[in-house]
Amino acid sequence: MTLTSSPPAPAVERGRVRLKGVGKVFGSGSQAVTVLQDTDLDVRPGEFVAIVGGSGCGKSTLLTMVAGLEKPTSGTIETGGKVALMFQEATLLPWLTATQNVELALRLQGVDKAERRDRARHLLQRVRLGRYVDLRPHELSGGMRQRVALARVLAQDAAVVCMDEPLGALDALTRDQMHDLIEDVWLEARFTALFVTHNVREAVRLADRAILMGGRPGRIIHAEENTMARPRVMDSAPVAAAAAGLTQRLKDEVASHDESDYFDI
């Protein structure tokens, strides 16, 4: 609790995310579960990082900590500038319409009323929900809700945008359109993106760097830069090849551990 025990945080520039020796333990005593261990990661400002890993390996926990919603049990996380997070569940406020849900993000940034509305509608159009702007969450389908949440996180205008499986509930066609959209907005705004996905080709399609995570306890097992020229085409051979490589890497990594340890038997 003394001030001297925490040295002044070194300033990191806007858009940078730096994790040093980050660990996370839920519970305490005999109930303690180590969910994340000794994780180091340095994300450059404006970098697009995809995170891939097994179910329950700690991806969401990592994003939650980057967004400042949970504190790491050990290590430090430094972030430059505002961090936005799109949750794994859409988490729309049920008393607001789709537009109002997006508008709320703008309002909390102090965007004024007239502009708010226009920007919210425009974003909803870009996630192809232009016809549904006035529906409430319970009147939307699962994939439509997810897209409202996507529109909202993009509305946040943050330096770091974390997205937790943002396109998991979308069909292939819509998903491809969302890839274009996310890439476009990212190229315009040059935010730093942390993008969790289970679709390795999606990771290759979008990311500058793919991070593979292993589970029990969660940790980074591999990172791979991706210098392919943009725009990349999801169904193209190079993307498929890179994805196959990554998938193999993930499988090898799993095989090198006791499977029963990685999978939760």
Partner 1 sequence: MTSPTTSISERRPLDPIDVPARPRPTRRPGRKVLAPLLAVVVLLAVWQGVVATGWRPDYLLPGPVTVLAELGHLVTLPEFWAAMARTLSRALTGFALAIVIGTAIGLATAGSALLRASIGSLITGLQTMPSVVWFPLAILLLGLGEGAIMLVVVLGAAPSIANGVLLGVDQLPPSYFRLGRVLGAQGWTLYRHIVIPGALPAYVSGLNQGWAFAWRSLMAGELLVVIPGTAALGNRLAFAQEFADAPGLMAYMLVILIIGMIADQIFSAWSRYLRRTRGLTQA
Ligand X SMILES: Nc1ncnc2c1ncn2[C@@H]1O[C@H](COP(=O)(O)OP(=O)(O)OP(=O)(O)O)[C@@H](O)[C@H]1O
Which residues bind to Mg ion, rule: CB under 5 A? 60, 88, 141-142
**Listed residue (220, 197, 207) closest to 55, CA to CA:** 197
- 85: three-class secondary structure by DSSP: strand
Stretch that binds ligand X, among 53-61, 117-125, 178-186, 253-261 (CB under 6 A): 53-61
Query: What is the Cα–Cα distance from 199 to 11, expressed in whole angstroms?
Result: 34
Residue 91 binds ligand X, judged by CB under 6 A = no
Contact residue for ligand X among 43, 52, 57, 133 (CB under 6 A): 57
How many residues touch its own copies under the rule CB under 8 A: the total is: 44
Query: What is the Cα–Cα distance from 13 to 20, expressed in whole angstroms?
Result: 16
**Closer residue to Mg ion, CB minimum distance, 39 or 88:** 88
Residue 250: contacted member of ligand X, its own copies, Mg ion, none (CB under 5 to 8 Å, by partner type): its own copies
Residue 65 binds partner 1, judged by CB under 8 A = yes
Contact between 128 and 174 (Cβ < 8 Å): yes
Amino acid at 158: A
**Closer residue to ligand X, CB minimum distance, 169 or 185:** 169
**Closer residue to partner 1, CB minimum distance, 74 or 174:** 74
Q: Give the nearest distance from C-beta 190 to ligand X in angstroms.
A: 26
Site residues for its own copies, window 136-155 (CB under 8 A)? 139-144, 147
- Residues 70-91, buried b or exposed e (16+ Cβ, 10 A)? bebbebebebbbbbbbbbbebe
Contact residue for its own copies among 96, 107, 257, 263 (CB under 8 A): 263
CB atoms within 10 A of CB 97: 20
Contact between 134 and 98 (Cβ < 8 Å): yes
Please report, as ranges, the residues that interact with ligand X according to CB under 6 A: 26-27, 33, 35, 53, 55-61, 88, 135, 138-144, 169
